[in-house]
Amino acid sequence: MILTGVIIISAIASLLSVYRETRGTSAQSALIGWFISLILVLGLAWLDWAEWGPKLSILIECFLISFLVIFSAEIKRILCRLDLRPRWRVQFSEEERDLQHDLCRELANAADSLSKKREGALMVIEQRADLGEFLSGGVEINAQVKSSLIHAIFCHNGNDFHDGAVVIRQGEIWQAKAFLPMPHSIKLSQKYGTRHLAAVGITDQTDALVIVVSEERGTISLVYAGQITELSDRYALEKALQDHLL
């Protein structure tokens, strides 16, 4: 009896999670159609139990397999964000905390200077999920995070590094000119551009934290778990980064 209850609760939780994950996409229509078909089959079995009752377990297994196949991409994104690995790095030493504070300050300063000059920028901070499989075309730099270096990378001063993203790994600039996969199923407000779309896509699939500077509007945004938060100034960005990283 307890096992049955656990299974039912798990099934309902899975359906709700996938429903939220597919909100606003064509996959949501597929989910609704799948659910209606399941209800019809269960209703048919209830009305004619003698005929369909013995076959019900097989039918439910078929529906379960179809659910896993049809919505495999959405389930993968949910599991990536869930990330059940132990949080080994929650406790920082004093030196590590100072380094994280320096990182937040340098990134906030870089975003602020780029914003004032209306230079677009995309800064991706890798956390526990490895971003290697999502990136393409990046150039390894392995340099210390300095606002002046980030500013030079994204400024239109003749270099071709301003296209793509800067990726921060373990407190250093790991890559520049890295390109992120563009999600096709996500729709954003017209005020957001391709940088915001790329940021939503990568944070929707991983635990990465992304800073976006809009070239058109000069705004600074922080993107996490597919959600865009616009920030008023460098101080708000620095505080938001600290809340996530410390």
The per-residue pLDDT for range 172-202, each reduced to its tens digit, is 999 999 999 887 667 787 888 899 999 998 9
Question: How confident is residue 88, by pLDDT bands cut at 50, 70 and 90?
Answer: very low
- Whether the CB-CB separation of 164 and 177 falls below 8 Å is answered with yes
Q: What is the pLDDT of residues 18-77, one digit of tens each?
A: 777 666 566 777 888 888 888 887 787 777 777 766 777 787 888 888 888 887 777 776
In this prediction, residue 86 has a pLDDT band, given cuts at 50, 70 and 90, of very low
What does pLDDT average to over the chain?
83
Per-residue b/e over 105-131, b at no fewer than 16 CB within 10 Å? bbbbbbbbbbbeeebbbbbbbbbebeb
Instruction: Determine if the pTM surpasses 0.85.
Output: no
Instruction: Give the pLDDT of residue 118.
Output: 92
Task: Tell me if 142 sits within 8 A of 172, measured CB to CB.
Answer: yes
In the chain the domains, ranked by start, together with CATH numbers, are: 2-82 (no CATH), 94-245 (3.40.1700.10)
Q: How far apart are CA 58 and CA 52, in angstroms?
A: 10
Can you tell me which residue has the tokens 């059940």?
A: 84
Q: What is the mean pLDDT of residues 73-101?
A: 69
Sign of the Cα torsion 193, 199, 204, 205 reads: positive
DSSP secondary structure, 139-193, as one string = EEEEEE--HHHHHHHHS-SS-STTSSEEEEETTEEEEEEEBPPPPSS----TT--
Q: In the structure, what pLDDT confidence band is assigned to residue 87 with cuts at 50, 70 and 90?
A: very low
Alpha carbons 200 and 209: distance in angstroms, whole number:
10
Q: Is the pLDDT of residue 117 over 60?
A: yes
Q: How confident is the model at residue 119 (pLDDT cuts 50, 70, 90)?
A: very high
Query: Mean pLDDT throughout 153-175?
Result: 86
Q: What's the confidence (pLDDT) of residue 26?
A: 62
Give 33-36 contacts, CB < 8 A, sequence gap 24+.
34/63, 34/66, 34/67, 34/70
| CA–CA separation, 48 and 234 (whole Å) | 66
DSSP 3-state assignment of 24? coil
Between the two ends of the chain, the Cα-to-Cα distance in Å is 43
Is residue 149 pLDDT above 60, yes or no?
A: yes
